[in-house]
Amino acid sequence: MSLFHIMIFLPFIFAVFTPFIYKLVSPRIHTGWFVILVPLTVFLYLLQYIPTIANGSTIYQTVPWMPSLNINITTNIDGLALIFGLLITGVGTLVVLYSIYYMSKHREALHNFYVYMLLFMGAMLGLVFSDNILVLYVFWELTSISSFLLIAYWYQRKNSRYGAQKSMLITIFGGLAMLAGLIMLSMITDTYSIREMLSKVDLVTADSLFLPAMILLLIGAFTKSAQFPFSIWLPYAMEAPTPISAYLHSATMVKAGIYLVARFTPIFGGSSEWFWIVSGVGIITLIYGSINAVNQKDLKALLAYSTISQLGLIMCLLGLGSASMYFGHGDESTVYAYAVLAAMFHLINHSTFKGSLFMVVGIIDHETGTRDIRKLGGLMSLMPVSFTLTIIGSFAMAGLPPFNGFLSKEMFFTSVLTAAEHPVFGMKTFGLLIPVIAWIASVFTFIYCLILVFKTFTGKHRPEKLDKVVHEAPIGMLIPPIILALLVIIIFFFPNGVSKNFLQPALIAILPGFAETGGLDVTIKPWHGWNTELFMTIGVAGFGVIMYLYLKRWSFLYNFFPKALSLNHLYNQSIEGTENISLKVTNRYMTGHVRDYLVYIFGFMTLLLGSALWLSKEFSFTISNDADVTVYEGGIIVAMVISALTVLLSKSRLTAIIALGALGYLVSLFFVIFRAPDLALTQLVVETVTAALFLLCFYHLPELRKEISRVKFKATNLVISIGVGVIVTLLALASNNHRLFASISHFFEDSYTLAGAKNIVNAILVDFRGLDTMLEILVLCIAGLGVYTLIKLQLAGREKE
Amino acid sequence: MNPNDVILRSVTKVAIVVILTFSIYLFLGGHHNPGGGFIGGLSVAAGLVLLYLAFDIETVRKNIPVDFKKLAGLGVLIAVLTGVSSLFFDKPFLNQTFGYFNLPIFGKTELATAVLFDIGVALAVIGTAVTIILSISEDG
């Protein structure tokens, strides 16, 4: 295992110890001071790769995981992954620092908070660096789960639970779709490695599964990145603590979808479907998010919609950029490749300004007790630092100089304009729409940026509406947004360092066709003359200011949109409907009588096995090969039958338990006869313990209600019981005669040379099938905890009564 | 069970030593002879059941102050960690190895990493079994 792997897994390793650290130091020292070391270490470690990656090289490192299934933890460090890795750990460090001041060390369950957060961090790192699609999928779902836990962190609140459930249902649905897509891809290319897939792109394009795989994969990406119409979960995810919103829902997790699209562009890009779906969904999301953001009253909700819209922008750029694959080399190819560069640039910029904005909103919330813009106002003189930070962040988002958002916004305009002029996939006809929509969306973006700054900080301060006396936040809370805001400005003045070290390598990763030429030589300049893009920006600013001033005159238009048609309404309806239906179905069979359950279980088993045997027409058996049945074996069988009948017919529970034990002992006698002492001993011990357990329960259980109603004869029960007996016997006989595969027992004969164990049972348990054992004891533990919880709950319930 | 059962108590006091010793033997001998984590763990659990039967739960709990829920969790954790640790040696997950060492008293002895994994299994089994038994018996 390389140092790099350890770095990726560091958050997981640290997560294991976090609760202990919390127990040790809380509440004297904030647990965050220890946690912050993790992202900081990984960040500093990753920095050393920048020069290597900037030269255009890619580093692969493999650790075998399940080599027999071709699943290995292969890491792939290239320009794209490195940008994400640095964002995850860099923003992560700042967010942890911020959370130290935001989360009270006295009131909050910090160990849970940081464990979830570290889980998330590790999952994100694993996701962006893994080359194996199955490993990637595991990490992908882990981000969904840890985000669910984080959103539901204040689980006492109804809204938190609702938001968490919503985000999980949608993102996991997308994840499953993505899994199907990934499996299709691996079926086509016969590999799990993304790198190897890249060398088989021709196979993918020619396959009939090309379109389904692509759409399924995109559903995964769109749900994660909150693209329209899956975007509805993101505003509700704002129930999470603000550091989490800043981290997950602006800087990192939601960008996983972007990452996925970028990562698979070399495989799917160049087709018109990919081009139109990605850029189309992106641009719809862009305008949908920006229009909705204007109408929000909650600052965090406003930022959430703005995130949706900005993600749409990046998605749209990636879609446009994929056309470059179609052209291969040449001028047209460069024109479109420029969009990819813009996408990556905006991705970095968005993380800096949106991260700082979220943190500032958290500060406002923390210091005033509300995020409602109708209550806020006039905070400028009270919170001067926050005001400055908001100006920087919002104006960067609005695309004004001298902030980095201006540069990427201009690049965005350039991309949509040039794309509209170049003939590809029918861009001549529909192409003009894209710049127009982009421009309108930018106007709305401008408006909500103005709302964010001026509604909060100017106007009249009304302390009577606030619960707290407002003052500036402590310095520790301000440092992280200040660092991000500084980055916003630094990137504006020195964009070419970013371009050379990060954007170019990422471009090569997304569009491998440029690898030979060393990428696209783009020098980003703040001033590029009086061109169309600049006029567009001026227009955006002008219109934005006018529309902001007359906001009250036209904002009533929002009320015309019927609530019943909104996506949220649809979501709620479908959730409610599903719950009702499943409740009805469940009530139908959950009668509370064990007898009924047994009827269902055994009836189903008989039907399933019986029809399988019938349909496969595989039932046949011969007894010619069987060994002779000796007298004492016959005797044991008779004894077994007798004890089985005793269990059934005995009147007393004690007799039944003992008879059951006897049956088990008799089975272990068979193991002795067939020379399997290991098995026999296991069986003996198990029987002893279960019999003892039974007796103990028997002694301690409350007296059963004497339910000696006469059991009526039921034909169904008779049919089912006979059916089960017959089916099991038939199955045993049939399976004895069908050896489809060579016996595996020869493999286990070598247990001494392979595992150094003379006891085969144990060698199988801990060596050959170690994974099974591990999962088994996990299941065992969960079952035990289940029993414990059920009984504790029952006891608690009884005490209440 | 009658808590004043003198015979059961007297026998248990002696038997428990034998049972636990034998369980340890079963556990350690598991690599070459019948036994191992599962069986060793189960027999320890069986011994504990006997203790609980002979003495009342409070007494045993006072003398063996172990939270068996945590023990079960610890077992799973150990098993997973031994699996993960093989990754550090560039071997697949859960890869086990063994070697022969010359120890002072035992002479040439085989030491296998599988035993570490087995400890996890044993602890998980003990923890779970006793947790279930205790919670059921408290229900009375």
pLDDT at A4: 82
Average pLDDT over residues A741-745: 72
Q: What is the pLDDT of residues B61-71, one digit of tens each?
A: 888 888 888 88
pLDDT at B106: 63
Q: Given pLDDT bands bounded at 50, 70 and 90, which one contains residue A625?
A: low
* CB spacing of B135 vs A791 below 8 angstroms: yes
pLDDT at B25: 86
CA torsion, points B113, B116, B119, B120, in degrees to nearest 10? -120
**pLDDT(A694) > 80:** no
**Taking the model in full, what pTM does it have?**
0.79
User: A75 contacts in B (CB within 8 Å)?
Assistant: none
With pLDDT > 90 as the criterion, what percentage of chain A qualifies?
A: 5
pLDDT at B1: 47
User: A8 contacts in B (CB within 8 Å)?
Assistant: none
User: A766 contacts in B (CB within 8 Å)?
Assistant: 36-37, 96, 114, 117-118, 121
Of B89, B96, B120, Cβ closest to residue A767: B96
Q: Are A243 and A102 in contact (CB under 8 A)?
A: yes
Of A73, A689, A788, Cβ closest to residue B131: A788
User: B4 vs chain A: nearest CA distance in angstroms?
Assistant: 15
- Supply the ipTM of this predicted assembly: 0.85
Residue predicted with more confidence, A220 or A742: A220
Residue A291, number of CB atoms within 10 A of its CB: 21
B25 touches chain A (CB under 8 A): no
Q: What is the pLDDT of residues B122-140, one digit of tens each?
A: 899 889 888 887 787 765 5
pLDDT at A794: 79
**pLDDT(A426) > 70:** no
Q: Does residue A702 have a cis bond before it (omega within 30 degrees)? A: no
pLDDT at A400: 81
**pLDDT(A579) > 60:** yes
A758 touches chain B (CB under 8 A): yes
B108 touches chain A (CB under 8 A): no
Q: Which residue of B has its CA nearest to A772?
A: B94
B140 touches chain A (CB under 8 A): yes
User: A63 contacts in B (CB within 8 Å)?
Assistant: 87, 90
Which of A14-23, A184-193, A207-216, A758-767 is least confident?
Answer: A758-767
B54 touches chain A (CB under 8 A): no
pLDDT at A581: 93
Q: What is the pLDDT of residues B21-59, one digit of tens each?
A: 988 888 887 777 767 778 788 888 878 888 887 887 788
* CB spacing of A64 vs B91 below 8 angstroms: yes
Q: What is the pLDDT of residues A130-186, one digit of tens each?
A: 888 888 999 999 998 988 888 888 888 888 888 888 888 888 999 999 999 999 988
B1 touches chain A (CB under 8 A): yes
Which of A41-50, A236-245, A259-268, B106-115 is least confident?
Answer: B106-115
Q: Given pLDDT bands bounded at 50, 70 and 90, which one contains residue A110?
A: confident
* CB spacing of B140 vs A771 below 8 angstroms: no
Q: Coil, strand or helix: which one is A511?
A: coil
Q: What is the pLDDT of residues A583-596, one digit of tens each?
A: 998 888 888 777 88
Domain chopping of chain B, boundaries? 6-138
**pLDDT(A258) > 80:** yes
Which of A31-40, A614-623, A698-707, A791-800 is least confident?
Answer: A698-707
Rounded to 5 degrees, φ, ψ at A348 are -65, -45
Of A680, A686, A700, Cβ closest to residue B137: A700
A1 touches chain B (CB under 8 A): yes
HEC string for chain B: CCCCCHHHHHHHHHHHHHHHHHHHHHHHHHHCCCCCHHHHHHHHHHHHHHHHHHCCHHHHHHHCCCCHHHHHHHHHHHHHHHHHHHHHHCCCCCCCCEEEEEECCCEEEEEECHHHHHHHHHHHHHHHHHHHHHHHHHCC
Nearest to A457 by CA among A377, A564, A337, A566: A377
CA–CA dist A165, A142 (Å, integer): 15
Residue predicted with more confidence, A773 or A643: A643
pLDDT at A638: 93
- Token pair, residue A657, equals 């338990």
C-alpha A346 chain-centroid distance: 23
**pLDDT(A618) > 70:** no
* CB spacing of A755 vs B94 below 8 angstroms: no
Q: What is the DSSP string of A640-668?
A: HHHHHHHHHH-SSHHHHHHHHHHHHHHHH
Domain chopping of chain A, boundaries? 274-549, 594-739, 748-801
A766 touches chain B (CB under 8 A): yes
* CB spacing of A766 vs B46 below 8 angstroms: no
pLDDT at A180: 93
